[in-house]
Amino acid sequence: MEKPLHTARELAAHLKIALSTVRAYTRLTDIPRHPIGRLIRFNLSEVQQWLRDGGSLAPGHRTKTERARARDDAA
């Protein structure tokens, strides 16, 4: 049986994206999340549906890692 709620780290691993990207999604978008006190948990099926429905980062936003890669590519 699937675990109902996942940490940001677990979500990042499942989606094969950086943890910083999950944190950016959390700060900048309406990604489905479940606050539990100071903790934030994610339901995998809700997040997958949100992504299928077009959920993404705010237009033009790049994570710190993406900005660093862009600087490296430009150099």
**pLDDT tens-digit series, residues 1-55:** 567 999 999 999 998 889 998 998 888 888 899 999 999 999 999 998 888 888 7
User: Three-class SS of residue 10?
Assistant: helix
Q: Is residue 58 situated within a structural domain?
A: yes
Q: Is residue 64 situated within a structural domain?
A: yes
Give how many domains the chain has, as a whole number. 1
Which pTM does this prediction carry?
A: 0.69
Q: Is residue 31 situated within a structural domain?
A: yes
Q: Is residue 55 situated within a structural domain?
A: yes
Q: Give the range of the structural domain holding residue 61, as residue numbers without chain letter.
A: 8-74
Q: Is residue 67 situated within a structural domain?
A: yes
Q: Is residue 2 situated within a structural domain?
A: no
Q: Is residue 1 situated within a structural domain?
A: no
How far apart CA 25 and CA 2 sit, in angstroms, is: 23
Q: What is the dihedral of CA 35, 39, 42, 43, to 10 degrees?
A: -70
